[in-house]
Amino acid sequence: MIVTLTANPSTDRTIRLDGPLRRGAVQRSLDTTDEAGGKGVNISRACLAADVATTAVLPARADDPYVARLAATGVPHRLVDLDGPVRVNIALTEPDGTTTKLNSPGATVATADLDALAGTLRELAVDAEWVVLAGSLPPGARTDWYADLAADLRGLARVAVDTSEEPLRCLVDRLDAGGAPHLMKPNGEELASFTGHDPDAVESDPELAAEAARTLVERGVREVLATLGPHGAVLVSAEGAWHAAPPPTTVVSTVGAGDSSLFGFVLGGLRGLDPAGRLALGVAYGSAAAALPGTTIPRPDQARPDLVVVRRLGSGS
């Protein structure tokens, strides 16, 4: 089973524009969709589509409209009651696939809410192969909470973390204290944020991305899956480094593509694939998601790892 935590869930509202976004102008939209989103929930939706057992853990009132949308997807979930509505995040997508996101902060959590979430995760982790901590933290949460969770859960199941900004920096600061997760999934910009490299250079140069990711492996992280947008992804572990170039993709929406990549990579491990195969499946899932509207999660038959080109990087040989 894959247990996911979405500490700051969101209704993902995607507004599809009829042309390039024009600031200050009146502009027509083609359509609007609302989906139960958040990084962990997206991964649980991918699990459901691939017939992988999952439980999504999140804070929300049972009567929140978000929960009704989540229930409609069929995703098994455990709620921690929260005094406040689930936020709405807005994505504006242009015909060429350019996506502009407007994310709201979310409802404020209290220490009791965090303790209840942590307790639910510990309970479920006993029977889980992976626990995935994903997304931003809501207002009121300590910025080192993911670091605490990773250290607490790593003895019960394999732990993956996909976050950014202060929660990511706190996690990185705690790696040397024995709290390293088994897997981290930064993107190029997030890698650059704690290595001092230029974000554009990291995203466009797989060797540089692997060099940055290797600093995390040297500090205890078993594997780093670094997604590089249109440049694919790199995988770095103690065994080496690999780069995967994505197949030709007509980008419709990038929302959820990174979450799909992380799921594809984990799914490859559940299938017993080697590192190159797991990386190929991760990039295939991310590319498939980018070709779909809104936060649509690809089905397994839509992911084409056979079209992904993987090469071992010389610096990791």
**Alpha-carbon distance 236 to 278, whole Å?**
12
Q: Which two tokens stand for residue 287?
A: 């590319």
Which two tokens mark 92?
A: 């504006």
Q: Which residue intervals of the chain are DSSP H helices?
A: 39-49, 65-73, 111-125, 145-153, 165-173, 188-195, 199-204, 206-217, 257-270, 275-290
Q: How far is CA 117 from the centre of its chain?
A: 19
Helices (H) and strands (E) in the chain, counts: 10, 14
Place of tokens 């409609």: 72
The contacts of residue 141 (CB under 8 Å, 6+ apart) are 7, 109, 114
Nearest to 184 by CA among 156, 152, 218: 218
The residues assigned a catalytic role are 259
Q: Give the closest residue to 317 by CA, choosing from 289, 278, 283, 275.
A: 275
